Amino acid sequence: MAAVLALSQESFSAKLRCMSVPPTDEALMLLYRGGDLLAFKELYRRHSQGLYRFIAWRSPRRDWVDEIVQDAWASLHSARAGYQPQAAFRTYLYQIARNRLIDLLRLKEAQSTAELNGDEGQDPLEQLTDEEAASPETSLEKKQQFAQLHAAIRSLPAEQKEALVLQQFNGMSLDEIASVTDVSMETVKSRLRYAMQKLRAQLQSLTARGELA
């Protein structure tokens, strides 16, 4: 059975490569709605890393990240029969994950700050920094710059950080960000503008102190 599935996956991948225009996420989701598991695998390949990165930036607790991402994909599976391509698939998927995070925040809002900032394992953002700066050519100085940039972004207000991450790390348009965060496009523009101003000021301060080359 595994060999048959692997062959099917290879045939599916070859079919995608031969197509002059690859199927959209929405078309793949409609195939998945009809029971095509290989279409789901392609969606997961396209979006798993971006979704993880978004939640890793947004979550105040490192131990929530894997749980939220897994729950998002499980919820997508459960809701597939009723899927309608009314919005971009990525927007739909990120909304599921974001709503799960909001639910957790509401459930845990009474917990202490100390518990929220527990020191258990590596921060997912530190892991992402390591991955982004892991090539042999990357100097220690470059790794330090990544860490300082991530720290500066993490210090932004939650709404501004969320908009910035969706735009800069996930490549979303203003309209997509507005859909995911359920605010107007003007609000998104305002959050991005203030985020960039604060980020620029922090990085200039680090440069002035000689902490950022």
Domains, the chain, ranges and CATH?
23-120 (1.10.1740.10), 122-213 (1.10.10.10)
Place of tokens 């996420």: 25
For residue 133 the two structure tokens come to: 């700066």
The number of angstroms, rounded, from the C-alpha of 208 to the middle of its chain's C-alpha atoms is: 32
Residue type, 42: E
pLDDT score, position 60 = 86
Confidence of residue 177 (pLDDT cuts 50, 70, 90): very high
Per residue in 105-143, pLDDT (tens digit) is 888 775 544 454 554 444 454 444 444 444 544 566 666
Q: Is this prediction's pTM over 0.75?
A: no
How far from 71 is each of 45, 55, 86, 103, CA to CA, in Å? Answer: 17, 12, 22, 12
Cβ contacts of residue 54 below 8 Å, gap of 6+? 94, 97, 165, 166, 169, 170
Q: What's the whole-number average pLDDT of the chain?
A: 81
Torsion-angle region of 171 (φ positive above 0: left; ψ -120 to 50: alpha; else: beta): left
